[in-house]
Amino acid sequence: AFAKPAPSRFAYWAAEFALAPLADAIVCVSGWDRRLALSHRVGRPNHLHVIHNGIRVPPEPPHRGSWPDRPRIVCVARLSSQKDVPLLLEALQRETEERIAQLGIGDRVRLLGDRPDVVSQLSQYDVFALPSNWEGFPFSTIEAMSAALPVVASSVGGVPEQVVDGGTGY
């Protein structure tokens, strides 16, 4: 909650700070979240426990074949200030719906909306990207790795705990 934008940050901190003494244990989704809670005096060290998010993975990773000449990149993220999708698009020289239209790249960028079939969608791409300003321990990168996609993600929050630089992504 501490990494959220300023208006809601204080409200989240106040609620977490007030309720922490009532809890027997507090689950943090990453070591980064635990360190953040400790730095803001939310909970006691022996009450803060890290349990990473998880997903069901296939017994065998999908076979990807050889690297394509024109790799297809996928990003699974909400269009919010937390997820810095414009950064990704600018890095690829693109942006959101309005920017997509301005750039005339509608034939190459698809915004699929909220999808229940993310895992099957991921199998159609070659690289997963997650530009973000803050994270706890994102499900989307775990889903991408379960689909055997290399991951390029912002080094924020708990992302470095799941994406091994040079191993599973950058």
User: Over the stretch 41-88, which tens digit does the pLDDT of each residue have?
Assistant: 999 999 999 999 888 878 887 777 888 887 788 888 888 888 888 888
Provide the percentage of residues in the chain whose pLDDT is more than 90.
37
Chain CA centroid to CA 5, Å: 17
Point out the least confidently predicted range of 19-28, 42-51, 100-109, 157-166. Answer: 100-109
How many Å apart are CA 1 and CA 16, to the nearest integer? 9
How many Å apart are CA 140 and CA 75, to the nearest integer? 8
Provide the percentage of residues in the chain whose pLDDT is more than 70.
92
Q: Is 48 helix (H, G, I), strand (E, B) or coil?
A: strand
Which pLDDT band holds residue 34 (cuts at 50, 70, 90)?
very high
Whether 1 has a pLDDT exceeding 60, the answer reads no
pLDDT of residue 93: 59
How many Å apart are CA 103 and CA 16, to the nearest integer? 43
pLDDT of residue 92: 67
pLDDT of residue 3: 52
Per-residue pLDDT reduced to its tens digit, 120-155: 888 889 999 999 998 999 989 999 998 889 999 999
Q: What angle do CA 124, 127, 133 make, to 5 degrees?
A: 120
Q: Is beta strand 73-74 parallel, antiparallel or unpaired with respect to 48-50?
A: unpaired
pLDDT of residue 6: 59
pLDDT of residue 118: 84
How many Å apart are CA 44 and CA 119, to the nearest integer? 37
Average pLDDT over residues 15-38: 94
